[in-house]
Amino acid sequence: MKILEIKNVHKIYNSSEVKVHAVNGVSLDFEKGEFAAIVGPSGSGKTTLLNMIGGLDTPSDGEIIVDQTNLAGLKSSALIDFRMRNIGFVFQSYNLIPVLTAKENVEFIMSLQKWNKKERDDRTFELLKAVGLEDRINSRPSKLSGGQQQRVAVARALASKPKFVLADEPTANLDSKSTETLLDIMEQLNKEEGITFIFSTHDARVVKKARRVITLEDGKVISDERKN
Amino acid sequence: MNNLKLAWRNLWRNRRRTLITSASIFFAVFFALFMRSLQLGSYDHMYKNAIESYTGYIQVQHKDFWEEKIVDNTFPYDRQLEQRILADANVTATIPRFESFALASNGPQTKGVMVMGVDPEKEEHLSKVTDKMVKYKLSAASIELIKQDSNLPEKIKELAPLFENSTYTTASRLQLDLGISDKDAGQWMPAIEQYSRFDNGHIEMGEPGVWVGEKLSSYLKLGIGDTIVLISQGYHATTAAGKYEIKGIVKLPLPDIDNKIVYLPLDICQGLYNAEGNLTSLALAVKDNKDRAIAGTVERIGGLVSGEKRVMEWREMNDVMVSQMDADDKGGQIMLGILYLVIAFGIFGTVLMLTAERKREFGVLVAIGMQKKKLSSVITLEMLLIGMLGLLAGVIVATILILYGVNHPLIFKGEMALMFEEYGMEPQFAFWTIDIYYISQILIVLAMVLLAIVYPLRKIFTMKVVNALRA
């Protein structure tokens, strides 16, 4: 079952007189439950592609269809709402809300979706337990290590049961032990919840865990390998 | 997580900045309210002094008297008209007066004075001259008695000579000059009051005798029982001259009037100017002195008087003072404007920093699904909370001090008091109670905060999430 279709997507930046073709005719499909990594050197267009998939940026040409919805057809507030319900984000520098506790960060999106308190509490506890932070639910981000913060970010991304999670270099700021723990958690959640994970990464450890590796170079897909 | 809770938490993520911004709003509100109260209170006090010591709120005059204050511009005391005026719902009493100028002398000392012919009983309805009689005087003799009293502390004995020849209409003012606290007043004041007591006599209709202003009496070196000589021009260019015994000394709050006033019984004054039965003005005591009530009364009384007479209200009669107060008021408002401008920049600086610092956070929130409208309402609440913190603190502290000040005006003494008197002002700072000016100051601060909010809101609504995430 296709949950994401990328059809001949281009992204061109016009900075002064130089035209930069950041993404150049990328076409990809993603099935439910994939654990995929987009790799490539710096400037290859990984983050740009991820931003467009997440509806944070708009393609210059081409279409991105999430679960049969063309993102280009959504107006600004509808797109925000669509992201909230269908796409989870994990950022390189965690980007948790500093004034909220781990629990509050995770349940934040559920509050925006107006889940009732019991549903929120149950889901939050379930996710924080899954990422191994059930004993830190009342800690604010400043009291957590980088690895712990990124685990909270993963729990937050999964909170509203999105169609897929986009993780932009999620391990870039983590040490090897935290990276390993995080990847194990994400792999386990991918299997248990059936949620698709799409990473952009340089990290060989992420690539090793991924079941599909897409390589970008100069904005083009140069390989798309699936592992058994 | 509701908006208010999130806004409140955000407020304290940079505690120092929130406190500094709130403090700047607090000081702006506090000073604005406090200074405005002081300004309005002082105006009111001066207006009241002028009105109640001299003009009254409304006067019926000869139509030409105000422009040319000569005794020829007088009108006959019409008792029927007086009764019709008294029938007005807002008029509580009529006070007939005969006012003119004369040259006063005592020995070699001479001075131009204002002669006010009054009915002492009726005058109690308006100027209450008897309340303003000098009741205590620290004469050389009374200071000597204070010094000799072994029960009085040395501090009082040292202070008393500094106020030699000072006069007082109340014991509390005397107490203040001698530095006696309210706690000690019961112990020391009875003796001091006894030593410094100043006894005045009365003036009565039909009996020659005068009350003179304290400053005038000092200038002419006149005391109770002395004689003052008045010479002027009477009705239709007759000569007006007379000599009168000083029956009492009054101390009026307006130094400009205090140094030239001579009160005579109305009929004696009319006789002096050969204008028997005539008045220069019929002042009215009113029940409701608010502007609207006064304007209504003036209109109604205007319908009763005819021909040679006109009705004037206190603003016309105190036009110089009103202009001075208006100019001072404008100056005060400009100062407040500058104060608010400084604070507005402070608030805007905070908003600018807050927006720049949290650009990425705004991007993240919108990326994960927070609508820009909701984010804007959180930021608006944050700024309103900062504003309300400063505003409420300012209003509370100012209110406490203003309410205290309303009941305990600041009274200056010594050199400071003299300085005020040299400028023709009573050495006192009065406060104006809580009034409509509170609302305007509060609205100004709220408007500044709301104006400052426009910046982050604009940033949020025009924000490109992908750019914000790179910040």
Q: How many CB pairs under 8 A join A and B?
A: 61
User: What residues of A are in contact with residue B372 (Cβ under 8 Å)?
Assistant: 76-77, 80
Nearest-neighbour CA in chain B from A227: distance (Å): 31
User: What residues of B are in contact with residue A97 (Cβ under 8 Å)?
Assistant: 361, 364-365
CB contact under 8 A, B371 and A80: yes
CB contact under 8 A, A112 and B369: yes
Residue of chain A nearest B365, judged by CA positions:
A97
CB contact under 8 A, B361 and A97: yes
User: What residues of A are in contact with residue B366 (Cβ under 8 Å)?
Assistant: 80
CB contact under 8 A, A83 and B369: yes
The dihedral through the CA atoms of B40, B45, B51, B52 has a sign that is positive
CB contact under 8 A, A56 and B465: yes
Any B CB within 8 A of A107 CB? yes
Cα dihedral B377, B379, B380, B382, rounded to 10, equals: 120
pLDDT at B253 over 80: no
Distances in whole angstroms, Cα of residue B198 to Cα of each of B146, B169, B177: 15, 10, 17
Q: What tokens were used for B315?
A: 């603003």
Among B368, B374, B376, B385, most A C-beta atoms within 10 A, so best to mutate, is B368
* Closest C-alpha among B47, B30, B11, B58 to residue B297: B58
Task: Give the whole-angstrom CA distance, residue B311 versus residue A39.
Answer: 95
Q: Percentage of residues in chain B with pLDDT exceeding 90?
A: 38
User: What residues of B are in contact with residue A57 (Cβ under 8 Å)?
Assistant: 465-466
Q: pLDDT band for B112, please (50, 70, 90 cuts).
A: very high
How far the first Cα of chain B sits from its last, in Å, is 26
Any B CB within 8 A of A99 CB? yes
Evaluate if pTM is beyond 0.90: no
Residue of chain A nearest B368, judged by CA positions:
A84
Any B CB within 8 A of A89 CB? yes
- Calculate mean pLDDT across residues B164-176: 84
pLDDT at B385 over 60: yes
pLDDT at B423 over 70: no
CB contact under 8 A, A83 and B371: no
User: What residues of A are in contact with residue B460 (Cβ under 8 Å)?
Assistant: none
pLDDT tens over chain A, length 228 residues: 789 999 999 999 886 677 888 999 999 999 999 999 999 998 899 999 999 999 999 999 999 999 889 999 899 999 999 999 999 999 988 899 999 999 999 999 999 899 999 999 999 998 898 888 889 999 999 999 988 998 999 899 988 889 999 999 888 888 888 888 888 888 988 988 888 999 999 888 889 989 999 999 999 999 999 886
Topology classification of domain A2-98+150-226: Rossmann fold (3.40.50)
Instruction: Mark out the alpha helices in B178-318 (DSSP H runs).
Output: 182-196, 214-220, 255-258, 266-272, 291-304, 314-317
Any B CB within 8 A of A56 CB? yes
User: What residues of A are in contact with residue B10 (Cβ under 8 Å)?
Assistant: 99
Cα dihedral B167, B169, B170, B173, rounded to 10, equals: -40
Mapping DSSP onto H, E and C, the string for chain A reads CEEEEEEEEEEEEEECCEEEEEEEEEEEEEECCCEEEEECCCCCCHHHHHHHHCCCCCCCEEEEEECCEEHHHCCHHHHHHHHHHHEEEECCCCCCCCCCCHHHHHHHHHHHCCCCHHHHHHHHHHHHHHCCCHHHCCCCHHHCCHHHHHHHHHHHHHCCCCCEEEEECCCCCCCHHHHHHHHHHHHHHHHHHCCEEEEEECCHHHHHHCCEEEEEECCEEEEEEECC
pLDDT at B200 over 70: yes
Among A86, A93, A95, A115, most B C-beta atoms within 10 A, so best to mutate, is A95
pLDDT at B298: 92
Nearest-neighbour CA in chain A from B362: distance (Å): 10
How far the first Cα of chain A sits from its last, in Å, is 18
Residue of chain B nearest A88, judged by CA positions:
B368
Q: pLDDT band for B14, please (50, 70, 90 cuts).
A: confident
Residue of chain A nearest B374, judged by CA positions:
A112
Task: Give the whole-angstrom CA distance, residue A181 versus residue B145.
Answer: 96
User: What residues of A are in contact with residue B365 (Cβ under 8 Å)?
Assistant: 97
Any B CB within 8 A of A138 CB? no
Q: What tokens were used for B345?
A: 């920049």
Domain spans of chain A, in order of start: 2-98+150-226
Nearest-neighbour CA in chain B from A187: distance (Å): 22
User: What residues of B are in contact with residue A112 (Cβ under 8 Å)?
Assistant: 369-370, 374
CB contact under 8 A, B469 and A107: no
CB contact under 8 A, B10 and A99: yes
Condensed to tens digits (0 to 9), the pLDDT of residues B321-374 reads: 888 888 988 998 898 888 888 888 888 888 898 899 899 999 999 999 999 999
Greater model confidence, B176 or B228: B228
* Closest C-alpha among A26, A32, A28 to residue A11: A26
